[in-house]
Amino acid sequence: MNKPKNDTFLRALLRQPTEHTPIWLMRQAGRYLPEYCETRRRAGSFMDLCRNPQLATEVTLQPLARYDLDAAILFSDILTVPDAMGLGLYFVEGEGPKFERPLREEWEIRNLTAPDPGVELRYVMDAVAEIRRALGNSVPLIGFSGSPFTLACYMIEGGASEDFRTIKAMLYDRPDLLHHVLEVNAGAVTAYLNAQIESGAQAVMIFDTWGGALSNRAYREFSLAYMERIVDGLIREHGGARVPCIVFTKGGGQWLEEIASIGCDAVGLDWTTDIGAARKRVGDKVALQGNLDPVALFAQPEKIALEARAILDAYGPGSGHVFNLGHGISQFTPPEHVTALVNAVHEHSRKQRQI
Ligand code: CP3
């Protein structure tokens, strides 16, 4: 068994005791780091960077060289899966991701099939294996995917959307069609995450960025039910170690109990939920991950440390907390402010354990 020297992240996800609260940041490798921008320039484009295992490894390691982070996350994107389904992913500067061939017609939806992760997504598996080699046994590597619903938002809208009117019109008019897309996506995501685990990912996270845009009733039927299916199909043990699974619905605070009961090991929280109250609601069912407002990183370092301590105190003593932001780090974040956050989380959580 190849146990990382610093396995606080894995232990916290399994609610086992740790010497400090582990921390990593969503989008920790990204445009706020000048070294990332430099590597991306060398690669040519964001997708060229994702498709090159050596360069993807280089950027995965960049935040770990700067900060005392407790986990690495695969450098890739959730939209590699629909790209591999043939939708034609591209990025427009300032406008985010887009698809050349969004799903609109019934025949296009009926023809949709899950990619073979070992073929169309081979480059991701190669990156996972390469990153694991480069990490040695320092910290664990997180693999990830989008949720079936969040992927469907981009696949059907064709890009980012303010109101999700195309996918929601389909949800209300033709729920059978949307269910078909979600079913294909759930199969694709399960195979994709399992392939990442077999290639060396030591924990996995499902990003349900847009589940919180659904109505109360629609969330269970069109997002949560499909994440449950994925969790049911995941490899839970690999190489003699448990592979924990984290589910994150942005805007999902009102559904915490239900998310906690789909069989995942941890639930990600955005910054609108009180983590102490969330802990009481989920009890000892799952660990919690979160939940600093990413925009708090624009405040002065002393204020960032205060916010971090307030979250640690709200969670309270005992294990089961992985510190993170409530969503991805902003590209405009001053990199030195992240140092203040990571150090505050480690120092304060060590002190908490001495009381
Ligand atoms: O966390 C990490 O460091 C791992 C890498 C990662 C990226 N995207 C890299 C990336 C992860 C986990 C993601 C997930 C992702 N991608 C999500 C779910 C999480 C979330 O943030 O809500 C979503 C919705 C996407 C789709 C996507 N990809 C968006 C909205 C964007 C930003 C577009 C923009 O121009 O702002 C991307 C591109 C992207 N993915 C970047 C990075 C570092 C920036 C691209 C660049 O370098 O130009």
What pLDDT, on the 0 to 100 scale, is given for residue 92? 86
Structurally, what CATH architecture does the domain formed by 8-354 represent? Answer: Alpha-Beta Barrel (3.20)
The CA distance from 298 to 25, in Å, is: 15
How do residues 229-251 score in pLDDT, each as one tens digit? 999 999 999 999 999 999 999 99
Domain borders along the chain are 8-354
Long-range CB contacts (< 8 A, 24+ apart) of 185-189? 185/81, 185/114, 185/148, 185/151, 185/152, 185/155, 185/226, 186/148, 186/226, 186/229, 186/230, 187/114, 188/81, 188/85, 188/114, 188/115, 189/81, 189/145, 189/146, 189/147, 189/148, 189/151, 189/230
* Spacing, Cα 260 to ligand 1 middle (Å): 25
For the CA of 144, the closest atom of ligand 1 is 12
Residues in contact with ligand 1 by the CB-under-6-Å rule are 26-31, 40, 46, 73, 75, 77-79, 96-97, 144, 207, 209, 328
Q: Considering the candidates 36, 67, 154, 192, report the single residue annotated as catalytic.
A: 154
Question: What does the mean pLDDT of the chain come to?
Answer: 97
How do residues 252-280 score in pLDDT, each as one tens digit? 999 999 999 999 999 999 999 999 999 99
Catalytic residue at 31? yes
**Angle, in degrees to the nearest 10, between helices 225-233 and 175-199:** 30
Amino acid at 291: N
How do residues 148-205 score in pLDDT, each as one tens digit? 999 999 999 999 999 999 999 999 999 999 999 999 999 999 999 999 999 999 999 9
Q: Which residues of 314-330 are buried (b: 16+ CB within 10 A; e: fewer)?
A: ebeeebbbbbbbbbbbe
* Among protein residues, the one whose CA lies closest to atom 5 of ligand 1: 75
pLDDT at 84 over 80: yes
pLDDT at 120 over 80: yes
Q: Which residues contact 111 (CB under 8 A, 6 or more apart)?
A: none
* Spacing, Cα 278 to ligand 1 middle (Å): 27
What pLDDT, on the 0 to 100 scale, is given for residue 3? 85
Residue 128 structure tokens: 């996972």
What pLDDT, on the 0 to 100 scale, is given for residue 94? 84
* Residue 224, SS3 per DSSP: helix
Q: Which residues of 62-84 are buried (b: 16+ CB within 10 A; e: fewer)?
A: bbbebbebbbbbbbbbbbbbbbb
* Among protein residues, the one whose CA lies closest to atom 32 of ligand 1: 96
* Among protein residues, the one whose CA lies closest to atom 36 of ligand 1: 96
pTM beyond 0.95:
yes
* Spacing, Cα 124 to ligand 1 middle (Å): 15
Evaluate whether 45 touches 89 at the Cβ level (below 8 Å): no
* Cα-only R_g, the chain: 19
Find the DSSP H helices in the chain.
Answer: 8-13, 34-43, 46-51, 53-66, 80-82, 106-110, 122-135, 148-157, 165-173, 175-199, 216-218, 225-233, 256-260, 275-282, 301-315, 335-354
For the CA of 40, the closest atom of ligand 1 is 47
* Among protein residues, the one whose CA lies closest to atom 24 of ligand 1: 209
Kindly report the length of the chain.
355
How do residues 273-295 score in pLDDT, each as one tens digit? 999 999 999 999 999 999 999 99
